[in-house]
Chain A
Amino acid sequence: MNANPSILIVDDEQVVRDSLSKWFKEDGFNVSSAAGAAEALQQLQGQKWDILLLDIKMPGMDGMELQQRIKEIDPTATIIFITAHATVDTAVKALKEGAFDYVTKPVDPDYLSHLITNALKQRSLVSENLKLKEQISEFSKADEIVGDSAQIQKVYELIQTVAKTDTTVMIRGESGTGKELIARAIHSNSSRRYFPIVAVNCGAMAEGILESELFGHERGAFTGAQYRRKGKLELADGGSLFLDEVGNIDTKTQMDLLRVIETKQFARVGGNDIIKVDFRVICATNKDLEKAVADGTFREDLYYRLNVFSVFIPPLRERKGDIPLLANYFMQKYSRAMGKQIASISPEAMDTIVRYNWPGNVRELENAIERAMVVGKPPEIRPEDLPYQLTERNHILPSGSMAAVEKAHIISVLAQNRWNISRSAEILQIDRVTLYNKIEKYGLKKPSAG
C-alpha cells in the first residue's frame, strides 16, 4: 500500500460525501470529493487518484458515463460504484466496463474497509507487474546479436517480421552461427516473451530419451521412472519450444511431434491423460532437410509443418565486416567476466582474426577470443594469444570470388590500421577516393569504439 493513498468521492449528496470523507480521513487517506461529474473530471486533470468512489445516479452525467470519461483520462484508475439504486443489470454493466467493484448504500464498514484494502493491493500488484514487464522488455533488447553487415541486417528484419506472429520458424545455418540466439530473439520480441522458451537439443539424445524429454512420463512408465516427470512440451506452455538440430529426430518421435504440433495435445509416456498445451515452435537445423525428405529419413508432412517461415544465418566468412565488431564484443564481454584489463585487440591480431575463415563460425570466434583473454596480458590481445589454427596460412584465404578476396583484404588492412583511411590507402596502393568507393561498395562500416 502507498504511504498516503488518495480517494476521490463523487456523489451528489453532500451528507454521503462528508461521511465518507471523514471515514477515510481517519484512515490517513488523502481524500477529496466532488458533487458531480464535471467537478470530478476537473479534479482528475489536476492529479491522479488511487481510488474513485462513484455514485451511479447523479444529475447530468451519470456514474456510468463518468466511468468512461475517467478511463479515457486515466486507464489505470480503480473505480468502485457505491449507490443506493442497485440493480443486477447496472452492476454487471459497471463491472464489464472495468469497475473494480460495486456496493450498495448503506455498506457494511468491515466490507468497505476490506474492499478498499483489496483495491489498493490490486493497484500495487498491477503497478509491480508493469514494472517487471518493462524490465523483461529491457532484458529482451539486450540480446547478443552483433553485426552491421547487410546480411545480418536482413536477419534482424526477418526476426522483427516473424516475432509478432505465431508462425512456426525454421532457422537454417551452419553450426556455430548462433541459431539459438536468433530463436531467443524471436521469442523475446514476441507476445509470448513473459512465458519461457524451452530449448531441446534433439541431436544430443537417444531415441527413447528424447521422447521422454519432450512428452514427460508417468511413474513406472519404464525401468527407472520412479517419479512422474513433466516434459519440455508442458514446460513450454504459453511460451516457445526451440527444437535444435531438428533434423536428427528419429522417425517415431517425428510422427509423435507432428501430432502434437497439429493438435496441441498429447499424453505423457506411460499415461492416458490428455494434456493440452499452447506453444510456438521454433526449430533449427544445419542439415539439408530437403535431401533428408527425398531420402525418406525425414517426414515430408513434418517438414512442411516446420518450414513455414525460414531464417537463414549466413556463415561468418560471408560477412567478414562483422568480425571486428564481434571480436571486440566478445573481448569486452570476457574482460568484464574475468575482470581483466584488456581493452583492445592489436591491429596484427585483428588482421589474423579477420583473415581466418572461421569454419566454426561465431562460436569458434567466441572461443578464440575467450582463449586469448585467458592467455593474453594487458593491455591488448596480440597474435600470439590466438589459437594456433588462426595463424596457419592455409586457412586464411577467403574462398569464392575475386570480390570476396578483395573485400577480405580491405577489411584486414583497415583493421590493421584502425580505420586510418590515408594509411590504409597507402598500403593498398590505391588513392583515398578509391578506398572510400570500395568501402561503400562492400558495405563496410567502422567498428564502434572499444
Chain B
Amino acid sequence: MLDKTPGVASAINILNASTIADERLQELSRAVGRSFGLRTYVSPAPLNLDRAFDAYRGQYNSTALLVQLVNAFAGTDEKRIAVVGVDLFIPVLTFVFGEAQLGGSSAVVSTHRLANPFYGLPKNDELSFQRLQKEVVHELGHTFGLYHCHQFECVMRSSTYVEEIDLKRLALCSGCAEKLHSAR
C-alpha cells in the first residue's frame, strides 16, 4: 500500500463527506495548497460510510475508509484526504481524529470530535475550522512521509485530545519543512 516516493504528487484532492459549507472547504483547500505548495481542489467523496460502520461500537472504522479511498483512486499520483463528519476509530483505540497512510496517498479526517459541543462547550465554528485545517495538514503530512514531531507548535505534533490541537500552529516546524522539502 505504501508509495515508494512519498514526496511526489501532482495535486491534493480534498474529498468531502461532511456537512461543511462550500466556502469553508475552499478556504481549507487554499490553506492546504499553501502548506504543501501543490494544486489543491475539492470534490465529493466516493465513500460508502455504512460499510465502515461498527454497530457494536457505534463508530466508523477509519482503516476501512482508507481502503475504500485507495481502491477508488488506484493508479493516480495525487494525494487525497477525505473529510467525514462521523466518529472514527481504529480497533485498539477508543477513537482517532484521523488516519493516514504513512508515505502513502490517502488519509481520512473527522470533524466529529473537533467541535466544542462534543465536549459540552458552546459552539465555536471558527475554532472548529482551525482545528480541522490543522488535522488535515497533519494527516496529509503523514502521506508525505512525515512522522510525529516533538516541537510543541509544529502541526505534526501528535494530538490525543482536542486542546492539544489548539496548541499547535497551522505550519510545519523548520525541521519538518526540511524533511518535506527533501522528500520531494
- Given known A-B contacts A18-B63, A19-B63, A28 and B148 have beta carbons under 8 A apart: yes
Bound CA–CA A106/B96 (angstroms): 11
Residue B128 interfacial (CB < 8 Å): no
Bound CA–CA A108/B89 (angstroms): 10
Query: Are A106 and B102 in contact, with the CB atoms below 8 A?
Result: no
Residue A274 interfacial (CB < 8 Å): no
- Residue among B63, B94, B142 making CB contact with A109, cutoff 8 Å: B94
Residue A16 interfacial (CB < 8 Å): yes
- Which B-chain residue is minimally distant from A114 (CB atoms)? B160
**Interface 1/0s, chain A 103-140, versus B by CB < 8 A?**
00111111011000000000000000000000000000
- Given known A-B contacts A26-B142, A27-B158, A20 and B92 have beta carbons under 8 A apart: yes
Query: Are A110 and B91 in contact, with the CB atoms below 8 A?
Result: no
Residue B41 interfacial (CB < 8 Å): no
User: Using Cβ atoms and an 8 Å threshold, which residues of chain A touch B158?
Assistant: 26-27, 113
Query: Are A25 and B93 in contact, with the CB atoms below 8 A?
Result: no
Residue A384 interfacial (CB < 8 Å): no
Q: Which residues of B79-121 are within 8 A (CB) of A?
A: 89-96, 99-100, 102
- Which A-chain residue is minimally distant from B95 (CB atoms)? A109
**Interface 1/0s, chain B 142-160, versus A by CB < 8 A?**
1000011000000000101
User: Using Cβ atoms and an 8 Å threshold, which residues of chain A touch B89?
Assistant: 106
- Given known A-B contacts A26-B158, A113-B160, A107 and B147 have beta carbons under 8 A apart: no
Bound CA–CA A209/B177 (angstroms): 68
Bound CA–CA A143/B2 (angstroms): 60
Query: Are A106 and B91 in contact, with the CB atoms below 8 A?
Result: yes
Bound CA–CA A104/B70 (angstroms): 31
User: Using Cβ atoms and an 8 Å threshold, which residues of chain A touch B102?
Assistant: 22, 25-26
**Interface 1/0s, chain A 179-190, versus B by CB < 8 A?**
000000000000
Query: Are B147 and A19 in contact, with the CB atoms below 8 A?
Result: no
User: Using Cβ atoms and an 8 Å threshold, which residues of chain A touch B73?
Assistant: none
Bound CA–CA A28/B147 (angstroms): 6
- Given known A-B contacts A22-B102, A109-B160, A113-B160, A27 and B94 have beta carbons under 8 A apart: no
Bound CA–CA A16/B61 (angstroms): 12
- Given known A-B contacts A28-B147, A110-B160, A113-B160, A23 and B90 have beta carbons under 8 A apart: yes
User: Using Cβ atoms and an 8 Å threshold, which residues of chain B touch A27?
Assistant: 147-148, 158
Residue among A16, A19, A25, A112 with most chain B CB within 10 A: A19
Interface residues on A, range: 20 to 34
Query: Are A106 and B93 in contact, with the CB atoms below 8 A?
Result: yes
Bound CA–CA A112/B90 (angstroms): 13
- Residue among A20, A26, A108, A113 making CB contact with B147, cutoff 8 Å: A26
- Which B-chain residue is minimally distant from A24 (CB atoms)? B148
Residue A13 interfacial (CB < 8 Å): yes
Query: Are A23 and B93 in contact, with the CB atoms below 8 A?
Result: yes
- Residue among B92, B99, B100, B147 making CB contact with A16, cutoff 8 Å: B92
Residue A308 interfacial (CB < 8 Å): no
Bound CA–CA A28/B103 (angstroms): 13
- Given known A-B contacts A22-B102, A110-B161, A82 and B92 have beta carbons under 8 A apart: yes
- Which A-chain residue is minimally distant from B57 (CB atoms)? A106
Query: Are B90 and A19 in contact, with the CB atoms below 8 A?
Result: yes
Residue A15 interfacial (CB < 8 Å): yes
Bound CA–CA A214/B26 (angstroms): 79
Chain B contact surface mostly: loop
- Given known A-B contacts A19-B63, A22-B102, A26-B102, A109 and B148 have beta carbons under 8 A apart: no
User: Using Cβ atoms and an 8 Å threshold, which residues of chain B touch A25?
Assistant: 102, 147
- Given known A-B contacts A26-B102, A113-B160, A106 and B94 have beta carbons under 8 A apart: yes
**Interface 1/0s, chain A 1-41, versus B by CB < 8 A?**
00000000000010110111011011110000000000000
- Which A-chain residue is minimally distant from B62 (CB atoms)? A19
Bound CA–CA A27/B157 (angstroms): 9
- Residue among B92, B95, B99, B148 making CB contact with A105, cutoff 8 Å: B92
- Given known A-B contacts A25-B102, A28-B147, A109 and B93 have beta carbons under 8 A apart: yes
CB of B139 to closest CB in A, whole Å: 10
Bound CA–CA A15/B100 (angstroms): 16
CB of B156 to closest CB in A, whole Å: 9
- Residue among B91, B94, B99, B142 making CB contact with A15, cutoff 8 Å: B91
User: Using Cβ atoms and an 8 Å threshold, which residues of chain A touch B94?
Assistant: 106-109
Query: Are B91 and A16 in contact, with the CB atoms below 8 A?
Result: yes
Query: Are B148 and A19 in contact, with the CB atoms below 8 A?
Result: no
User: Using Cβ atoms and an 8 Å threshold, which residues of chain B touch A106?
Assistant: 57, 89, 91-94
CB of B25 to closest CB in A, whole Å: 26
- Which B-chain residue is minimally distant from A15 (CB atoms)? B91
Bound CA–CA A46/B160 (angstroms): 33
Query: Are B91 and A13 in contact, with the CB atoms below 8 A?
Result: yes
CB of B182 to closest CB in A, whole Å: 16
**Interface 1/0s, chain A 242-276, versus B by CB < 8 A?**
00000000000000000000000000000000000
Bound CA–CA A19/B89 (angstroms): 10
Query: Are B148 and A107 in contact, with the CB atoms below 8 A?
Result: no
B residues within 8 Å of A by Cβ? Answer: 57, 63, 89-96, 99-100, 102, 142, 147-148, 158, 160-161
Which 9 pairs between the two chains have the least Cβ-Cβ distance? Answer: A110-B160, A19-B90, A28-B147, A109-B160, A27-B148, A106-B94, A109-B93, A108-B94, A15-B91
Given A23-B92, A110-B160, 10 more pairs with CB closer than 8 A: A15-B63, A22-B102, A26-B100, A26-B102, A105-B91, A106-B91, A106-B93, A108-B160, A110-B161, A112-B93
A-B contact pairs, 7 of them (CB 8 A): A19-B63, A23-B92, A82-B92, A106-B57, A108-B93, A110-B161, A112-B93
